[in-house]
Chain A
């Protein structure tokens, strides 16, 4: 059985995102001066020119932007069908993240989504997104 792909945990720009995920937190690189989100994460704020940027916690709610149901697999650790989702993070305007849902769930644009933390292997944890269950929301 092939292993799933995992992120490097010590990358100088992006490692903090996955370090927080390992603690069950969703964080986004954010400018401490202008408040804009820098996604993918980087040290310099392109909006205001500040170097004063850091990791900011998110409540982990989002809105479904787009999705694709992958039916032709190219990697043995990712059996088809599976669905790749693009989710806009509600409390971090400008932050869009990716998630994967097994199978072919019924989805609609604008659907509320919530984060969960997926132990992907070798100590790596990746934030994932799933529809907010209508009954529990």
Chain B
């Protein structure tokens, strides 16, 4: 375990417990929202701002995911933010949410903003389906200009699922990981969603036989190794911890934020990571080292975790990378029951991307806050510390949140 190793030169006191998440908001998660991504972002953001006891014109910073079609100024204009003093974006897809928390804390602690809104909004089923692959425009000439897509797309390597299938196959070859072990992760997410009323898979039960009988998409990965595609939005509000005490809900403190690149970093959006020597090595190794060092606690001390789960294999690899189990032992750990709600480390308590909804990990942040407010549908009793991870490629991010 990598608990509490300190990273030289990292001064934990600068960030630890000085900011808080004080508002959360979500839309319905559906297959067809019938509304624009801007409308969804506005709805989730208004809910988060109201949850914090604030008015829209008290938001002075907005941070977005690089993949979002909604621009920060568009959202500000829609909400009625009078004056935007800070904005930013923090990378693609699942990388973004935890990195947004870190950027918000940096903006607040450096005096650039007071109340920062973070959001992710997408019509991921009815408008922009990530499962449709990287060439949605239908162009014949693909790649170039630093994308490196020309080394992948012409070969029919088109989707994140195919990329993670190559990674899963390699993990199986190296460590003997099995379909049943991957299935255990899909199952525990589903079980949690079954008891979470707003989860998309709330009323859809699944057994291991159902999982094993699901059709292959890209071997060795099956349909139920893949996350959902969802229309919806989530938003949270971050402010300084000393202001958080006067707000309506129990504050959830930002204990630490850890970002990192994978070993043997490559360029491009996603596929060039396959050119690395060891494709099962995730950025969580560096992000986690930074996180635990800053937090002053280790993996053994957390009560609950929301692990980014675009695929079962990406979830499994992050268990290893963030030090929740040793390298190569993610499969047996997944199947051990430890990660189920009654286990030693419950994860993805609302169902995650696999079964709650695919809001690119912003739903993981919202669920972490519910856990630490003690208002989750599948509540871990007395939860004080929640790990949230993002990613897992091309770079990774993580945050440790603490009940004040």
Contacts and interface: CB of A to CB of B under 8 A. Distances in A.
Contacts of A121: 140
Contacts of A48: none
Contacts of A128: 155
Nearest to A102: B156
B174 to A, nearest CB: 9
B156 A82 contact: yes
Contacts of B220: 68
B342 interface: no
Interface string B125-140: 0000001110100011
B41 to A, nearest CB: 27
A49 interface: no
A122 interface: yes
Given A18-B150, A40-B151, A98-B152, A74 B157 contact: no
A65 interface: yes
A66 B273 CA distance: 13
Contacts of A7: 141-144, 150-151, 154
Contact of A86 (B131, B166, B215): B166
Contact of B219 (A39, A71, A86, A120): A71
Contacts of B155: 84, 98-100, 126, 128
Contacts of A135: none
A5 interface: yes
A84 B216 contact: no
A31 B214 CA distance: 47
B141 A74 contact: no
Contacts of A82: 156
Given A3-B140, A6-B154, A74-B131, A94 B277 contact: yes
A117 interface: no
Interface of A: 3-8, 11, 13-14, 18, 39-40, 42, 65-72, 74-75, 78, 82, 84, 86, 94-100, 109, 120-122, 124, 126, 128
Given A70-B162, A71-B216, A84-B157, 5 more contacts: A13-B146, A75-B133, A78-B156, A98-B152, A100-B157
